Amino acid sequence: MTNAHHRRLAGAACVAALLAAAPATAQDKTLTISWWGFNGEKLNQFIVQPFQEKCGCTLVFETGNNADRLNKIKIRGGEGVDVAYFTDGFSQIGIEDGLFQPIDRSKVPNLAGLHDMAQAPQGEYGPAYTIGRVGIVYDSAKVASPITKWADLWRDDLKSALSLPGITTTAGPMVVMIAGEKAGTDAFEDADPAFAEIEAIKPNVVKNYNTGSEMINLFSTGEITVSLAQDFALGQLKAAVPTVVWADLEDGAIATLNTVNIPKGAANVDLAHEFINFILDPALQQTLAENGVDAPVVASVELTPEQAAQWTYGKDMIDGLKRVDYSKLNAAKSDWIDRWNEIFGM
């Protein structure tokens, strides 16, 4: 779906709200949200329209990818947006750049019902409204022995069978962390052993991929049988190659959190808190999960096995995830990119 389509959707939602809103003072109340715009129709149905009816306000949107939207907020000195959706890597950059304000938790009572990981993933700043994971996927019809740990990516039987995410993608730097663990070191403290392991895995690597669709295509054409993936891509991947499975890793998948924050220059801080509390409502989180929008972070949400299959869901799964220290990762990333590109000739 294009950004232009999402702007038209947001515009239509605003017009509808203005026609319905009364009295006149309600028409002047606007909440500006920075988000990606994925699942536009479902978000309009389950979040936009219900919240506008509840608050008697108008929601307007700034859409785009993480980097572009965060840069706009930075250029404006934290102004122009009331609520900002980002992955945790980018929200950490915003926090370090002083672009977000602490959340007043007394105004977001639904926080108490979230899984611990989601309540305060970055200290006093915004919560996670959904949790995902990065793990290993493989074609069970072509990989003889099940993959059960991260170090299996280095197995000899996977020569010329693996695609790694590019170093500038969300999952790319996680490969360096994993390589450090295999070497018995912390890649943030000493990256040399990690990159020696990345050099060692090179015979297994067919290519780096930069988008989920590119990774799925590599599986579809038979060029690869193993890769790292974010769990949101699993449904599409299994539709293309039904024998692909998610590896049950004994040393744990890696958490990816989508967060929601209030920029320091927000014009409607109270309404922003009301919106954050709204999207963390247990009934809404249940609805979003059942309709394929987002994995729930509310602990009381109950899904059938079929509904839960596509999500990072449940206390045991969430508590077993590895966390990324994005303050360290963001500081290391520039050097890691250079070293990665030297190995893979990019």
Structural domains in the chain, CATH included, are: 3-131+256-319 (3.40.190.10), 132-254+323-344 (3.40.190.10)
pLDDT of residue 243 exceeding 70, the answer is yes
Element (H, E) at 83: strand 83-87
Non-local (6+) Cβ contacts of 90 within 8 A are: 66, 67, 70
Name the 3-class secondary structure at 326.
Answer: helix
Number of Cβ atoms within 10 Å of the Cβ of 29: 15
User: For the chain, what is the radius of gyration of the CA atoms?
Assistant: 21
Backbone angles phi, psi at 205, to 5 degrees: -90, 120
Please answer whether residues 133 and 256 qualify as being in contact, where contact means their C-beta atoms are separated by less than 8 angstroms: yes
Band of the pLDDT at 5, cuts 50, 70, 90? very low
Q: Is the dihedral of CA 37, 38, 40, 44 positive or negative?
A: negative
Distance CA 222, CA 91 (A): 37
Categorize the per-residue pLDDT at 38 as very low, low, confident or very high, splitting at 50, 70 and 90.
confident
Q: Tens digits of per-residue pLDDT, 104-131? A: 999 999 999 999 999 999 999 999 999 9
What's the CA gap between 150 and 139, in Å, rounded?
A: 16
Residue 232: per-residue pLDDT: 86
CB-count exposure of residue 28 (10 Å: 0-12, 13-18, 19+): exposed
Q: What is the mean pLDDT of the segment spanning 303-317? A: 94
Lowest mean pLDDT among 4-8, 105-109, 147-151: 4-8
Residue 180 clears pLDDT 90, i.e. is over it: yes
Judged against a pLDDT cut of 70, whether residue 181 lies above it is answered with: yes
Exposure string of 161-191, with b = 16+ CB inside 10 Å and e = fewer, is: bbbbbbbebbbbbbbbbbbbbbbebebbeeb
pTM of the model: 0.85
pLDDT the model gives residue 346: 62
The pLDDT confidence band at residue 8, using thresholds 50, 70 and 90, is very low
pLDDT of residue 328: 96
